[in-house]
Structure 1
């Protein structure tokens, strides 16, 4: 199976990626390196990809477990090298869930299933860097 993504240069440091044939993602650099800061940097999108992938898994699994979530946020804290090529060496996901009577064991199971079985982004990143997580639940 193959996937194709088309990306076009839009001048200076701006690139426009056509995702799934109809969603445009504009990437750009900061002004100090020739960009206009009109979009996120490509490496930042790696963090967004991880959050989206595991977040969709966790919500889907919790729905099947009949866990009612009122709010769900994630923070990803990443360590990046100072030397070129600058790359991530570690990512830490903080899963933040809010709701009444949320069973912590069910949430842990959902997160573990995402991290160990379903999230392809996590699987790819784990081959290149340290990937850890924590869960925070509030009412």
Structure 2
């Protein structure tokens, strides 16, 4: 990636468009938003692949992510909680719990921040 300075932040061109990053959310994505998004969506993508490989009937996965930041340490992200709302037919709690364990082990973004950001995950099943 090659970032170029703009009046209010930095930009880079990517396959799907221009990514604008700024400390001011009026002008682009804030760095912490990208970090939280990376962890949430990486986890969601890995979970989806695992559930599909296990042939579970998944209709939708919605992800809620919340970050706790420490204002006294340059707004460092201390922890991120990721909550999955999984919609499908015949889903079983224990099977999803096992898939969540595999997700944690196989998400490169979660693994990259181990030891520096506490990551927690929960899920709820929504039957159809």
Q: Which residue among 2, 6, 12 is the counterpart of 1:10?
A: 6
TM-score where L is the length of structure 2: 0.89
More strand by share: 2
Q: Distance in 2 between matches of 1:22 and 1:70?
A: 25
1:29 equivalenced with 2:17 (yes/no) = no
Aligned length: 127
Runs of 4+ residues deviating >3 angstroms: none
Q: Which residue among 76, 87, 91 is the counterpart of 2:65?
A: 76
1:40 equivalenced with 2:35 (yes/no) = no
Q: Which has the higher contact order (CA 8 A, sep 6+)?
A: 2
3-state DSSP of counterpart to 1:121: helix
Listed as ranges, the gaps of 5+ residues in structure 2 are: none
2:111 matched residue in structure 1:
123
CA RMSD of aligned residues (A): 1.6
Deviation digits for residues 77-120 of structure 1 (CA, Å, limit 9, x no counterpart) = 1110112422111111101111221122222122111102x111
1:29 deviates by: 3.1
1:14 deviates by: 2.4
Q: Distance in 1 between matches of 2:121 and 2:26?
A: 30
Q: Distance in 2 between matches of 1:92 and 1:65?
A: 25
Q: Distance in 2 between matches of 1:132 and 1:115?
A: 9
Report if aligned partners of 1:54, 1:122 keep a CA contact under 8 Å in 2: yes
TM-score where L is the length of structure 1: 0.83
Q: Distance in 2 between matches of 1:95 and 1:23?
A: 28
